[in-house]
Amino acid sequence: MVRKLIKQSCCMFYKICYKILKFFVCRFHQNYYQRIEIIGLENIPENVPIIFAPNHQNAIMDALILVCALRKPVLFMARGDFFYSRIINSLLRFIHIIPVYRKSEGLENISKNADSFQIAIKELQNGGYVCIMPEAGHQGVHYIRPLSKGIFRLATSAQQYLPDTPMFIVPVGIFYSSYYHYHSSVFASFGNAIRVQKFTQDRKNSNAIVINSLKGTLYEKMKTNIIHIQPGKFYEFIDRIAMFVPYLNKQHNSKMKLSRQVSHIKNFTNYCNQLFIDRQEYLIKAYEQYKLFKNEINYWSNYPEMIADKDFNNKRLLKDSILAIVFAPFTIIILTIYALPLIMPEIINRFITDKQFYSSVQFVVLFVGIPIWLLILFFIWLSISNNLIFSLILLILACFSFKFVFLFIRFYKQLYIQYKAKKVKKILLQQIIQILDSLEYKTDNHVAKN
């Protein structure tokens, strides 16, 4: 009886700690990005076990989208090489992440996957949420990569344990305006759920047939739910030009929803995918034009609004320049306070070869480092002033000012980019429009010319 009470108390304490951590993580997540838009939450069936299947581009940041978008906790299954340290192992399990080992991480570890699958199946039996990145490793590309079989083995195994309970796989498409820059934007779309029972109810089908059928269905669902560009010779060209398309639309304005912008990009990429099948000569002609300005287009596709958005004009540049002068003293104070924690992620990222970890490192280091840094500053202020109330007031002001850190970084960087864009905007915009004309693509309503 006593052991049961202790176990229940520990379980309750764990849930409370997790909820507190989730609250602060999600608040920080909101400040880290300039804009976050989530659609399709109504596609998630209620009161049934769900396996989420997002495209995997941006390491931990992909998982955080689901954590902050969903009310219920999500159990994540991640690559096993993260779990070799006991401390990290315990920390990851605390935040609902369990390992799935690959052959490259040692054949002796493969047997451990059975334990992880049992934990995931138990979570699903309790009506919980599980997430597996079906593409396995992450990669910053705008196309669906081959899907691993792990998610389908979990789905079919769990369905066997719960033959009378409907179970679903929900595809999730995630798009980032930038993988590496502070205060960028992120968009996520939850697609139509796939009912696993439809594939497992026919007992005549072998497990391999069921898995392959599920795999094909999820692949097509994910393909339509994300920006998918045909991999190959024209991929980079289409990907880079696509970033300008939403800003060339006459209906575009600064209040346009991310879902609308992504829809414009998808319309263009789908059109190009069809050209690859029907009229490849159009792509070849446009590609030759792209190569003349390849470096410039690739660079400015990271800041397409500066080139193609009519709102970024001389009047806007003058207004932003005046605001920059007015807010300069305040900005200098804030950035001086947060200088060390802001520099630390940049230093760490220099030693990381996989660029898709950059924003995850930024996020984690800042989330952990800023509270520690503010605490250090508090004791410094207290030792200098010997006044507790004064030091607390400074600490509160410093905490409040953090809301403006990413905002100011983005504003001043944007102003610098505006001045830089002024030199190339006219020529580059003409070149992009010529490329679109060669493709016979109309940006006004995103319909191909007849």
- Inform me whether the pLDDT recorded for 400 exceeds 90: no
Give the domains, in start order, of the chain with CATH numbers. 19-225 (3.40.1130.10), 229-450 (no CATH)
Average pLDDT across the chain, whole number: 88
What is residue 93's predicted lDDT score, i.e. its pLDDT? 86
Which percentage of the chain shows pLDDT scores above 90?
A: 57
Higher-confidence residue of 277 and 79: namely: 277
pLDDT band at 2 (very low <50, low <70, confident <90, very high): low
Question: Higher-confidence residue: 255 or 153?
Answer: 153
pLDDT tens for each residue of 309-327: 777 788 888 898 999 999 8
pLDDT of residue 24: 93
Name the band, by pLDDT with cuts 50, 70 and 90, for residue 242. Answer: very high
Whether 54 contacts 133, CB under 8 Å: yes
Sequence-ordered strand ranges (E) for 121-167: 129-132
Mean pLDDT of 279-296: 93
Decide if pLDDT at 449 tops 50.
Answer: no
State residue 1's pLDDT score. Answer: 64
List pLDDT tens digits, range 29-65. 998 998 999 999 999 999 999 999 999 999 999 999 9
SS3 243: coil
pLDDT at 444: 63
15 has a pLDDT exceeding 90 = no
Asked if pLDDT for residue 272 goes beyond 80, the answer is: yes
Assess contact for 171 and 187: CB atoms under 8 A. no
Percent of all residues in the chain with a pLDDT value above 70, rounded to a whole number: 95
pLDDT of residue 82: 77
* Residue among 193, 205, 195 at smallest CA distance from 166: 195
301 DSSP 8-state letter:
T
Assess whether pLDDT exceeds 80 at residue 200: yes
Sign of CA dihedral 26, 362, 353, 223: positive
Q: What is the pLDDT of residue 450?
A: 31
pLDDT digits (tens, 9 = 90+) for 328-379: 998 898 888 899 999 999 999 999 988 999 999 999 999 999 999 999 999 9
Taking alpha carbons only, the member of 307, 161, 146 closest to residue 241 is 307
The answer on pLDDT for 448 being more than 70 is: no
Higher pLDDT, 103 or 227: 227
